[in-house]
Amino acid sequence: MFRYYTPVLILQIFCLYHAYKNRKDYFWYLLIFMLPLIGAILYIVTQVLNKADIEKVTEEIATVIIPSRKVKEAEKRLAFSDTFQNRVALADAHFENGDYENASLHYEAALKGNFKKDFYVITQLISAMSQSQNYEEVIRLADQIKDNHEFKNSKSQYIYGLALDKLGRIEEAEQNLKAIDQRYSNYAERLVLAEFYAKHDKKGKAIEILDEIISESQHMTPQNRRTYRQVVANVRKFREELNG
């Protein structure tokens, strides 16, 4: 009995993870739960398109189950060949694993020679330093790349704005945070911007952003409506609080 159910359970986990990752309809969750083997087979046949897709999801599941797996593999590649690409891959693995301290160490080690001003590595280091709440370092790093055209309207500029706010540089923070206010996108970040405005006595601007998001939510695709359901709920809640 155990030998039969273990593969079926693994198949269920695979299908449920794939369905979650790809925002599938709730119908598939019910089918996989209620008819484990048949539901899983039907799901794979109709929803998992090709072998490459299966291999990718299987790899992701393995990484979720054994978080250190990707780190160890990256460490082996770096030990075999200490290259810029291998160093960054190890830093990325630590970052994905939530180990921002080690990620920062390897990103910093990669920033040397011809790669001293590598844009990608610096942006990753900005994110890692933000997660570690090292706001002074976030600002120092962002100042190095803020004139780069790729920095404009990017996640790094948003993080830079948050760091400036943490250190009381309010006007500079606003200039960088408001770049994220783009219609039909960045819903969570725009909610944070609205909170920033409300905190700094700019209630009118906060309400304007919240009302825009609420209006946009009426025209979302079904998939986006599911994806941003909680964000929109938080937006509506905050809007009601501002009314009070």
**DSSP secondary structure of 138-156:** HHHHHHHHTTSGGGTTSHH
User: Residue 190 sits in which domain range?
Assistant: 185-244
127 falls within a domain: no
Question: Which of 65, 92, 121 represents a domain boundary (last residue)?
Answer: 65
Alpha-carbon distance of 3 to 40, in angstroms, equals: 17
175 falls within a domain: no
Q: Which long-range contacts (CB under 8 A, 24 or more apart) does 18-24 make?
A: 18/43, 18/47, 18/48, 18/57, 19/43, 19/47, 21/57, 21/60, 22/47, 23/223, 23/226, 23/227
229 falls within a domain: yes
Tokens encoding 222: 């079904």
Residue 50: which of 18, 11, 75 has the closest Cα? 18
pLDDT of 153 strictly over 70: yes
119 falls within a domain: no
Contacts of 54 (CB under 8 A, 6+ apart): 44, 48
37 falls within a domain: yes
Position 25 scores a pLDDT of: 83
Position 1 scores a pLDDT of: 39
pLDDT of 56 strictly over 50: yes
Question: Which of 17, 36, 65 represents a domain boundary (last residue)?
Answer: 65
Alpha-carbon distance of 107 to 121, in angstroms, equals: 6
- For the chain, give the percent of residues with pLDDT over 70: 89
Quick: pLDDT tens for 98-117. Answer: 999 999 999 999 999 999 99
* Residue found under tokens 């921002």: 100
Count structural domains, the chain: 2
| pTM value > 0.85 | no
- For the chain, give the percent of residues with pLDDT over 90: 68
Alpha-carbon distance of 77 to 83, in angstroms, equals: 9
209 falls within a domain: yes
Residue 90: which of 78, 108, 104, 82 has the closest Cα? 78
11 falls within a domain: yes
**Across residues 81-110, what is the average pLDDT?**
96
Question: Which of 10, 41, 65 represents a domain boundary (last residue)?
Answer: 65
101 falls within a domain: no
